[in-house]
Structure 1
Amino acid sequence: MSRAALLVLADGRFPAGGHAHSGGAEAAVRAGRITGAADLREFCRGRLHTAGLVSASLAAAAALGTDPVALDAAADARTPSAALRAAARRLGRQLVRAARATWPSDELEAAAHRFPKGAHQPVVLGLVARAAGLDAEDAAHCAAYESVSGPATAVVRLLSLDPFDASAVLARLVPEVDLVAARAGDAARRALHDGVDALPAASAPLLEIGGEAHAAWPTRLFAS
């Protein structure tokens, strides 16, 4: 395993398209649920333990070699919002494009042909982790961190929040990111024996509702 590969994959500058998505933060800002650093921290915490846990579990399961078709269907079932499903597939398609150039592998080539419109991003993330020589825990950590770093970065732009405050929010969530990644890894290992239904299906209704409302806005800064 290469920790340097994990740094490359988790780097916000990796051209996987995440910079164009707010992870629900733009809708939350518009609704008045995020007005500053304290609200951002609670939003990120809630997202981490719901959507973040689901994403981390899917990524870890893909990194362990679970069938990506079954995982993609499981991701669909755990994402009620059509708008968020579409966003996840766009991100998955972009991640495959970036990863095929960075860590070429037969699995990534197969994924690109099997899912021409894109698989769910966490599933692709797990496949990319395998191609980069990373393990399931690495994939889970990457997905869990992405679930909070995206909204934090977006809120800096949306509210002109001090970047130091946004970084402090992320730093204070580190123990919980570790906890979620560990839970995701355990769930992924169970899924190897019990099937994808063993993966978490944590719910975040406001994210789903916000995602549908956000998709209908005529003008927005972020794609989701």
Structure 2
Amino acid sequence: MATPSMLLLLADGRFPAGAHAHSCGLEAAVAAGRVTDLATLGEYLRGRLATAGLVAAAFAAAACRVAGSDHTTPVRPPPMDTDLTRPGQRRRATLVLLDAELDARTVSPAQRAVSRRQGRALLRAGREIWPGDIFAGLPATPGGPHQPLVLGLVGAAARLDPAQVATVAAHATVTGSASAAVRLLGLDPYQVQALLVRLAAACDAVAARAARAAEGAPHRLPAATAALADIHAEAHATWEVRLFAS
């Protein structure tokens, strides 16, 4: 199990994976007039935590769980040319399934692209910090692997357990948007931090639910969605001038 310091390092927004360049959909929500102050920001973060946060935390925890487990058996048949008797092949086949299941749950093409772009950035950091073969099982998908899957493997490399990885994922779901809100709306950073403190219990509950779900089959992982967030993501991707990448 990782030390508390390692858990804090991975949860730190300054971890070199480019998260600071993303508002996690908040910029479009602000432009649409749906987030205007601290109260509406709180509603936005609660909604994001219950949807995207739950899904990301569950998939990150699931990836962490299979990272070192060649005994994990894919629920659906792997490709015909996959030899599950070879070391690492069961893990690779399960990660392929997780990537496909997460892709199916990400309705917006723009959000899929952002997730894979963030995954590439996090993978680069992970390979630099923890060189080794733990990342070898990631599927070679166009655009790169989804960010939650990479986070799961990074967490495993750092010796976090699935519940800890779920906590990091859920935490990042709200802190990224909260930080962006200070810049986009000029909110008092102390009040925004107080809002995050009030959301801590909800964040922990989502992480615990995600960790439990991660013990099941890939196709049974949470599939919570937010249609308005998908619409905002597609609109945001067309902007010529924007402060954040998403």
Match of 2:84 in 1: none
- Structure 1 residue 105: Cα displacement: 2.8
Partner of 1:136: 162
Does the CA contact (< 8 Å) of 2:64 and 2:161 recur in 1?
yes
Does the 8 Å CA contact 2:113/2:143 hold for their aligned counterparts?
no
Q: How many residues are treated as equivalent by the alignment?
A: 219
Unpaired runs of 5+ residues, structure 2, are 67-90
Rounded Cα–Cα distance in structure 1 between residues aligned with 2:232 and 2:200: 26
Show the counterpart of 2:152: 126
Distance 2:136 2:184 in 1: 37
Deviation for aligned residue 1:8: 1.0
Tell me what 1:151 maps to: 177
Query: Which residue in 1 is equivalent to 2:59?
Result: 58
The DSSP-based 3-state class of the residue aligned with 1:14 is coil
Q: Paired residue for 2:31?
A: 30
Return the match for 2:219 from 197, 201, 210.
197
Higher helix share: 1
1:83-106: CA deviation from partner (whole Å, max 9, x where unpaired): 000000000000000111112231
Q: Say yes or no: does 1:99 pair with 2:133.
A: no
Could you tell me how far 1:35 is from its partner in structure 2?
A: 0.7
Larger radius of gyration: 2
Match of 1:82 among 100, 105, 109: 109
How far apart, CA to CA, are the structure 2 residues paired with 1:115 and 1:128? 18
Q: Out of 207, 210, 216, which is 2:232 matched to? A: 210
Does structure 1 conserve the Cα–Cα contact (< 8 Å) formed by 2:95 and 2:137? no
Aligned: 1:160 with 2:153: no
Alpha-carbon distance in 1 for matches of 2:143, 2:157:
21
List per-residue Cα deviations over 1:159-178 (Å, max 9, x = no partner). Answer: 11111111111110000001
Unmatched segments (≥5 aa) in structure 1: none
SS in 1 for 2:214: helix
Deviation at 1:78, TM superposition (A): 0.5
Return structure 1 stretches of 4+ with deviation > 2 angstroms: 113-117
Following the alignment from structure 2 to structure 1, what is the Cα–Cα distance between the partners of residues 137 and 163?
23
RMSD: 1.2
**CA offset digits 1:132-167 (Å, max 9, x no partner):** 100000110001011100100001110111111111
Contact 1:103 1:131 in 2 (8 A): yes
Q: Contact 1:100–1:109 (CA<8 Å) still a contact in 2?
A: no
Choose 145-154 or 1-10, whichever is displaced more: 1-10
- Cα drift, residue 197 of structure 1: 1.3
Q: Name the CA distance, whole Å, in 2 between partners of 1:6 and 1:29.
A: 31
* Contact kept? 1:104, 1:131, Cα under 8 Å: no
Equivalence for 1:114:
140
Percent of paired sites with the same residue: 56
